[in-house]
Amino acid sequence: MGNTAEQGPQAAQHRKFLARAVELARDNVTNEGGRPFGAVLVRDGEIIAEGVNTIHINGDLTGHAELEAMRRATIEAGEPRLDGCVIYASGHPCPMCLSAMYLSGVSAVYYACSQEDGDPYGLSTADIYHELTLPPQQRQLPMAYLPLAEGPAVYRDWQARKDRE
């Protein structure tokens, strides 16, 4: 897919879902006092969940539009996989949201506003993306591996469960 959406017969459908994501973002700003982010989760050409940024409601920093849509869909389905789903987001997904998309099996992501579009408004996460390209010892957030002998046992316990997700 690259950085821009392909042209052709599906382009109109992609634009329709992106327009809905932008509409959700605009409504969140205008009517809810929230941040300008909306997301639509689509499977087989049908919207299965929508979300808007909800950080303003309770201070939950994970209340991003994409995560809210994914959360609704996985809770309703009762399982964490979103294989075959496409996310349409009003803005370029942050690293947290993108990671969740990878972990859940989302198949594609389309977004209407770039990092450059959001930068003048303090709504770009390009600096975090850059930070993640650095070796851990060069990042601003220190990370340290401190192994505990009993640590891996919890992984073995999980693997031994028959009912694990």
Active-site residue numbers? 66
Cβ–Cβ < 8 Å for 9, 24? no
Task: Tokens 């009762």: give the residue.
Answer: 78
Amino acid present at 38: G
Mind giving me the DSSP string for 118-147?
A: HGGGT---HHHHHHHHS-GGGSSS------
Say how far apart CA 70 and CA 80 lie, in whole Å: 9
Say how far apart CA 81 and CA 99 lie, in whole Å: 13
Q: 115-120: long-range contacts at Cβ-Cβ below 8 A with a sequence spacing of 24 or more?
A: 117/91, 117/92, 118/91, 118/92
3-state secondary structure of 92: coil
